[in-house]
Amino acid sequence: MSKKIAILPGDGIGPEIIAEAVKVLTFLRREHALALELEQATVGGSAYDEHGTTLPESTLALAREADSVLLGAVGGPKWDSLEPALRPEKALLRLRSELELFANLRPAVLFPQLADASTLKADVVSGLDIMFVRELTGGIYFGEPRGVRTRPGGEREAYNTLVYSEPEIKRIAHCAFAIARKRHAKVCSVDKANVLEVSVLWREVVTDVGAQYNDVALTHMYVDNAAMQLVRAPKQFDVIVTTNMFGDILSDTAAMLTGSIGMLPSASLDRASKGLYEPIHGAAPDIAGRGIANPLAAILSVAMLLRYSLGEPDIAVRVEQAISSVLDAGLRTADIFTGKGQKVGTREMGDAVIDALSQR
């Protein structure tokens, strides 16, 4: 039976980079006779302009019905003055929660060819390959009660609730161990168990789940140390599993070690491995429409889609190798151009990836 992929290009550079990702997916569908149906819909500011809402019901219905979703990015100055509930970014949050995408996978991979684009020394980051598994639908970002209240003396105070249940911790832990099995069999669980009760439970439950994966080595690290280790010796990590907020902060730190935001994909998965795949960058309104955006994060998102939702790890590796050989050949979009090699635009980069795939 054919699988349906919802294509949501979004705003800004979203349509430009997703066009290249779709070109690659269409090429692979033909080459490998993949039974895939692609259907496009609007999301974000462009959906607001057309339908008066950033997540039209028809888009949500398509995303629900589809086996997975490939998304570009949303947002831009045109919609910044909308009230918060109507902002394009809210469409993404709603999509993630409606689809129950609780596991956010964010690889921080440095292609060795780009080691000189990182802010850290090349020998510290060369070969970096970390997979963050961040809990995405629980923790302090969603905990109740939350709010701002006025104390009897008249001053205001604000509060949020950090809460995790055993089932929530278990499912993200299983996800991390299963992924580690397909990588280098190491999981580091990051918490703050010296201070927070939630972290004590987190550590206990992750340890219990880990006992079912004897082939995976489990370590625990406090979040402050993890932040330090990520910039001191990031290559010690394989899979890092952590809570929503710690993962948000640490994965952005790690992303920056790799040099360019234009190279990093992500996946958000549900229990059945249905996923929303998207680059980690935003709509980049400053360069939208100029044909210079880096499409590689979007193309790497296609590789993640193949690996995690379509069960095609070998084809995913082909995509990653094709990108590597394009970088070997010296092709660089503006964001990763350091003076050497050949500067190319969005479309040329997409075409080069397809050329490299054709030659393999």
215 is catalytic: no
In the window 6-35, what residues touch ligand NAD (CB under 6 A)? 13, 17
Residue in this structure with the two tokens 């979009």, named with its chain if needed: 333
- Name which of 17 and 216 has its Cβ closer to ligand NAD: 17
Name which position in 9, 76, 247, 350 contacts ligand NAD (CB under 6 A).
76
Residue 59 makes contact with ligand NAD by CB under 6 A? no
Q: Of 224, 286, 328, 355, which is the active-site residue?
A: 224
User: Which residues partner with 277 through β-bridges?
Assistant: 70, 267
141 assigned to active site:
yes
Among the listed residues 284, 302, 305, 315, the single contact to ligand NAD using CB under 6 A: 284
Q: Which two tokens stand for residue 272?
A: 């059945």
Helix-, strand-, coil-residue percentages of the chain, each rounded to 5: 45, 20, 35
208 is a catalytic site residue? no
Cβ proximity to ligand NAD: between 207 and 338 the closer is 338
Say which residues have a Cβ less than 8 Å from residue 85's Cβ, sequence separation at least 6: none
Q: Which stretch binds ligand NAD (CB under 6 A): 131-139, 150-158, 186-194, 286-294?
A: 286-294
With CB under 6 A as the contact rule, the residue among 132, 282, 315, 316 that binds ligand NAD is 282
Write out the two tokens for 23.
């070109």
Residue with token string 């219990």: 208
Per-residue x/- mask for ligand NAD, residues 315 to 344, rule CB under 6 A?
--------------------x---------
Sole binder of ligand NAD in the list 39, 286, 328, 355 (CB under 6 A): 286
C-alpha span between 185 and 192 (Å, rounded): 23
Phi-psi region of 44 (alpha: psi -120 to 50; beta: other; left: phi over 0): left
Whichever of 210 and 282 has its CB closer to ligand NAD, that residue is 282
Compute the least distance from the CB of residue 38 to ligand NAD, in Å: 20
Spatial distance between the Cα atoms of 144 and 162, rounded to a whole number of angstroms: 8
Catalytic (active site) residue 252? yes
Length of the chain: 360
- Contacts of 295 by beta carbon, 8 Å cutoff, 6+ apart: 16, 17, 19, 20, 21, 333, 346, 349, 350
Q: Which residues bind ligand NAD (CB under 6 A)?
A: 13, 17, 73-76, 89, 92, 261-262, 278, 281-287, 293-294, 297, 335
